[in-house]
Amino acid sequence: MKAAIERLARGLSDAVFPPICVHCRGLIETAGATESGFRHVCAKCAALIEFVQEPHCSTCGHPFYGEMEGARMCPHCEGLDPAFREGRTAVLFKGPVRALVIELKYHHGLHVLEDMEQLFRRAPHVLALVRGATLVPVPLHSRKARHRGYNQAELLAAGLARAAGGGRACRALASAQHRHGDADRV
């Protein structure tokens, strides 16, 4: 019954406020949203999303194209000594994925979190690493949290934990200093 009411409410909201693709700004047809699995990325733009698969850099997760032998570290990570065992990347940060991140970070687009969780669900190598882990999101200074109203890293960590079905997100860290210029970074 609850699912039927949610579908009805979503249908009514779509009739009043039709969903628009965050990348191409085109109207998303209901059939297209179901087909692509995304609510705020049209089927045409969803086809542009590049999911990362093996082989990839063991430090940053960036993909290697072609066959790979030996150590799996990209030129950007050579010489680094990270404080973590391994990094994984679900998708490349370009096109529709970049538009989703910008919508969340700069336009208060909390509505795209559902699509971002869908990206995580389609990256089994990322979910395998996260399953059973404790995710500690990057802390946000209290001044910036008050201004923005939310910490996107915290929301993404919660979505990733849900997608993995066996991780948890926590707030173990706090930001002691306010950095100016965060708006320049994506």
Q: What is the pLDDT of residues 110-157, one digit of tens each?
A: 999 999 999 999 999 999 988 988 888 888 888 888 888 888 889 999
Q: Output the DSSP codes for 20-69.
A: B-TTT-PBPPHHHHHHHS-SSS-HHHHTT--B--SSB-TTT-PBP-S---
Number of residues that this document lists for the chain:
186
Is the Cβ–Cβ distance between 161 and 123 less than 8 Å?
Answer: no
Q: Residue 181: what pLDDT? A: 55
Q: Residue 71: what pLDDT? A: 63
Query: Cα separation of 50 and 90, whole Å?
Result: 9
Q: What is the mean pLDDT of the chain?
A: 84
pLDDT confidence tier of residue 182, bands split at 50, 70 and 90? low
Distance of CA 33 to CAs 39, 45, 53, 56, 98, Å?
5, 11, 24, 30, 19
Ordered by start, the domain boundaries in the chain are 123-176
Q: What is the mean pLDDT of residues 51-65?
A: 88
